[in-house]
Structure 1
Amino acid sequence: MKVFNQNIKLEDSAVSLTIKREDLLHPFVSGNKFRKLKYNIQKTKELGYNKLITFGGAFSNHIAAVSFACKEAGIESVGVIRGEELSTKIAENPTLSFAQNCGMQFEFVSREMYQNKNSAEFISHLESTYGSHYLLPEGGTNELAIKGCEEILTEEDACFDIICCSVGTGGTISGIINSALPHQKVIGFPVLKGDFLTDEIRKFAKNPNWELHTDYHFGGYGKVTPELIGFINRFYKETKIPLDPIYTGKMVFGVVDLIQKGFFAGNPKILMIHTGGLQGVQGMNQMLEKRKMIKIMFDE
């Protein structure tokens, strides 16, 4: 599928707003996951591993993408999943069901154990249980993922003044920062609470041309509000562009809000990166229905 830039019109605004449809890169490994996995899958095969192990939560875009990418590459996959209770709820969970159908094997661990997933003891456990394997961090962020994300911006994007994207583990924005041109500023919208991401990004980012806006996480990772869901539904109705509620939806909300508040001086040309994640909408709607909240609607 072809990535393309789609212009967006905002009422009463002279700001030029465009969204890069990275979500259309691949039907199952879309957006930043395609970029992050590209060189990691290559390295797995180059090193002669036939198994890849990684980590994620109940509705993880990363888990879904890894399961399909490994299936496509002929590599076995294992997902270490946060939450022991999920082991009996695979059939009810669209993300885990998809990953299992792609051949992914699961290891469900307690939240306490998951917090220690990078410990020498846990890594040793994985080695003894699953044998030789390629280990990929949660979210897929490492040097090879950064390399892949550096390919998000292309020559046709040189005309933009500001590049905006959501921030999870910091890998995607780091790649964008590294490939941005000198005249471009990169703005990240973290979906997690806290300022720790600044240090994470500095581990990979080579340029100082970036900043984070931390007021658009809507309560933290995986948290949503009726205001956010309503915005996503209105945005789709007006543009026919679907947004996920965990990452890109929050970023686009933040950009539009800042435009309306007059944050961007001089009417710059802004490019927003759609990082995919739409596979999680079904699971989110299940949660919203249980809470009797408005759901995300892309069919009407």
Structure 2
Amino acid sequence: MIFKLENSVNLRVDLSSNLNVELFVKREDAIHSIISGNKYRKLKYNIEAARKEGKDTLLTFGGAFSNHIAAVAEVGRIYNFKTIGIIRGEELISKINDNSTLKYAQDCGMQFKFISRTDFRNKEDLNFVERLRNEFGDFYNIPEGGTNTLAVKGCEEILTEADSRFDYICAPVGTGGTLSGLINSSKSNQQVLGFSALKGDFLQEDISKFAKQDNWKLITNYHFGGYAKINNELVTFINEFKALNNIRLDPIYTGKMLFGIKDMISNNYFPKGSKILVIHTGGLQGIAGMNNRLKQKNSPLIQ
């Protein structure tokens, strides 16, 4: 994939007045405006596999503001794949033009199938996938969020030898693929912290399927009520972080993670002298859609 950065840039950032720790952000979001961060990493080897198998169509799954849906659509546009998005929520069929993520994916050529949330839970069922093949023909199946063995392999390439100097590696968690890759490529003396964007601790099992070390912990205190749930406090934090460091954070993943890290620093979670590396996994395309929701509530917008 032509826009790969051989080495993501690590930038030191300010998060609080606590001078007992050092905090750096690995700018994986700088890889590409849409196929950014972990989406590039997850798709890299899946695209290679699709080509080797002679597939010309990519089918995947996602929700209304899915970074993954936008990234797969962009991959299809750039690399001449047909793309099909199985979208959670039948009500969205009439709201494409009001949804920046779906509109972008459609403009890239993605074909949609909108299904109920109940049917969406069957996305990994073999009979359900076979019915999709009968409807759409042969395709390369990429799971929701892109997480599979090949995705984890790609995410293992996020860390480099230069990152071995950090004591903590932090990343947001949606499906667990990115964190699993980071765990596998981390040093045994490093602690990998995953900040869940979803309510509950069920991701423990998903991460354990791929993780080859036990030097990790799932942090579940900073989901702000669940996936894509936010409040004014989080928006204020994201805007203040951008003003201080000139780095945009998305409200679903990286914003919640860094809010959590700041809180943990304030509560002395990290030992004095700790060096912390935060993985910016991209997802900035989702800001426009979230701001549309915030406008409807007359709430402050993400800058």
> Is the shorter-chain TM-score for this pair beyond 0.5, marking a shared fold?
yes
CA contact (8 A) 1:150 1:178 kept: yes
Residue 13 of structure 1: how far off its partner (Å)? 2.2
Question: What residue identity is the alignment partner of 1:204?
Answer: F
Give CA-to-partner distance per residue, 1:87-126, whole Å, 9 cap, x none.
1111111101110111111001111111222223321211
TM-score by structure 2 length?
0.96
Separation in 1, partners of 2:162, 2:123: 41
Separation in 2, partners of 1:151, 1:75: 25
- Alignment correspondent of 1:48: 54
Ranges of 4+ aligned residues in structure 1 off by more than 6 Å: none
- Alignment correspondent of 2:98: 92
CA contact (8 A) 1:82 1:110 kept: yes
Report matched runs for 1:62-101 at 5 Å: 62-101=68-107
- Alignment correspondent of 2:161: 155
2:135 to 101, 121, 129: 129
Separation in 1, partners of 2:110, 2:297: 30
- Alignment correspondent of 2:11: 6
TM-score by structure 1 length?
0.97
SS at match of 1:99: helix
CA contact (8 A) 1:41 1:73 kept: no
SS at match of 2:212: coil
Q: Cα RMSD between the aligned structures?
A: 1.0
Separation in 1, partners of 2:302, 2:119: 33
Residues 285-294 or 37-46, more deviating: 285-294
Separation in 1, partners of 2:199, 2:208: 18
- Alignment correspondent of 1:37: 43
CA contact (8 A) 1:49 1:133 kept: yes
Residue 33 of structure 1: how far off its partner (Å)? 0.2
CA contact (8 A) 1:166 1:248 kept: yes
Residue 12 of structure 1: how far off its partner (Å)? 3.3
CA contact (8 A) 2:157 2:185 kept: yes
Report matched runs for 1:207-286 at 5 Å: 207-286=213-292
Give CA-to-partner distance per residue, 1:208-234, whole Å, 9 cap, x none.
110111100000001001111110011
CA contact (8 A) 1:41 1:70 kept: no
The aligned length equals 297
Separation in 1, partners of 2:18, 2:189: 26
SS at match of 1:229: helix
Separation in 1, partners of 2:279, 2:144: 21
Residue 28 of structure 1: how far off its partner (Å)? 1.7
CA contact (8 A) 2:100 2:288 kept: yes
2:123 to 117, 122, 136: 117
Separation in 1, partners of 2:125, 2:259: 37
Residue 160 of structure 1: how far off its partner (Å)? 0.6
SS at match of 1:177: helix
Residue 26 of structure 1: how far off its partner (Å)? 1.1
1:170 to 172, 176, 185: 176
CA contact (8 A) 2:96 2:102 kept: yes
